[in-house]
A and B are shown apart, each in its own frame.
Chain A
Amino acid sequence: MSAPTQFEISVVSTGLVVLVLGYNLVKFAWNQPLQNGPGFFLGVEVPSGFYDGPGKSWLRNYRAVLVALHLILAAALATIIALWRWNLTPLWAGGAALLYVPTMIGFAAWTRHKLGANPPVRPVAVALESRHLRDYISWPLETLSVALIGCSWWLLLSHGGKRIGWLDPLGMTWCALGLLPAKILAVRCSFPIPAERAEEHYQYQDVCRRIWIRAWSAVGWFLTIILFGGALRRAWSPARRVPGFQWLIIGIALVFVIYYMILVRRAMRLASTLGRNLLPPGSWATPFSRAPFPWTCASQTSWTEMGLPYLIWFAIWFGGILVFIVYSLSKSRL
């Protein structure tokens, strides 16, 4: 088995992204406004009979935005394939995220502004249980991940030779290490839960928190293993003699991703069960603060608030990734 070429890696990665996007569209995004039942639209409380009246056009508009987004992405990908310019796929993936996330957040913000600008104020409850990082984040695994990244850099720097493309390892290190602050924020940050059915809300919030942490762990481990495998192949000659070594590494990385995704899927099912009939976050205000604006996490309106710490983290992390992509493309022939 020969080593995969850049073209083959691009095809596999793009195929995976397309699969995830398609699955998300069919399984979750299409009916997301209805996830909290007929009394809500995208987590905003609506009057009874809403879906017999203006709700129809809101739902139609939401789906039109969704379809338009996917058509734009499909057209861009079709162009790349038609021109056979697979080196543009990272730009496509980055552009997809850049287009999709702000558009959906914008639609949710518009919905909030038009349908639920003044949500009702409800009593608030606070759990008197400490949330420790160790209960959510496996420090031995995090240490192992950091050690593997460190080891990869040691291999590259000491045995990697002179002609190394530093952008890829730098980018992967940035992505993988940058996820740890996000996990810590997921544990630390929270937003108020209503006093009514506080225990159930708390459990639901906790499950959503774990969904995020596991999803980030999946991405982190994928990148760590790819980086380590690449460094091994570059710096350790026995690895170069193993046939299909890169495929082996991609396979191991995918096993980690699949393992974490199974955990995420299980947690999402649990969240669906727990979250049924609970007040969606953002549909009510506390006596002390306005209603928070929540992220939407696949099928679940997550209990992870889009607060300032998250926005700062996301801007830095994602901004860094974009810089890598743009710089990488500027160096390559477009």
Chain B
Amino acid sequence: MFLTLQTNDKRPIYQQITDGVKALIARGNLREGMTLPSVRQVAGDLGINLNTVAIAYRQLQEEGFVTVRHGAGAVISSRSPRPIDEAELYKPLRTALTQLILAGLNTRQIVGAVREELALLQQKEGIQ
């Protein structure tokens, strides 16, 4: 299982790692109990600073996606992140929708794109 980081992605590297891991969890590729490689390994394999990966892991831990156990590394803890209020939950959705609107997509195209992405996720996850 691989995490891919693109050349033209404007997000900070730690954010790309965090989002990539979350996407793999959402698709069911990373399941509860699975262990992520060590910070040192990921940093070495990507050729980036240790702290960058450490920040990404810390963020995943704070959001409740991984549990850092001493000696066992970062373990995928749950599909459900820590409880957050609705406004916070919808914030990334609003950001994404704003970007799509600014990119010139109309409502139908946006709804189509959302349905397509959702179907893709559900298909990989095997849920209805």
Contacts and interface: CB of A to CB of B under 8 A. Distances in A.
Are A and B genuine complex partners? yes
A17 B21 CA distance: 49
A192 B4 contact: no
Contact of B46 (A124, A189, A198): A124
B6 interface: yes
Nearest to B42: A126
B41 to A, nearest CB: 6
A272 interface: no
Contact of B45 (A121, A122, A192, A287): A192
A288 B42 CA distance: 13
Interface string B1-35: 11111110100010000000100100000100001
Contact of A191 (B30, B37, B47): B47
Interface string B38-70: 101110111110000000000000000000000
A191 B45 contact: yes
Nearest to A309: B44
Interface in A158-197: 188-193, 195
A123 B4 contact: yes
A286 B47 contact: yes
A125 interface: yes
Interface string B88-102: 000000000000000
Contacts of B6: 123, 195, 287
Interface in A113-155: 121-131
B44 A128 contact: no
Nearest to A125: B2
Contacts of B13: 288
Given A130-B73, A189-B44, A190-B45, A287 B5 contact: yes
A88 to B, nearest CB: 42
Interface of B: 1-7, 9, 13, 21, 24, 30, 35-38, 40-42, 44-48, 73
Interface of A: 121-131, 188-193, 195, 198-199, 202, 286-289, 292
Given A128-B24, A286-B47, A287-B9, 4 more contacts: A123-B6, A126-B42, A127-B37, A202-B2
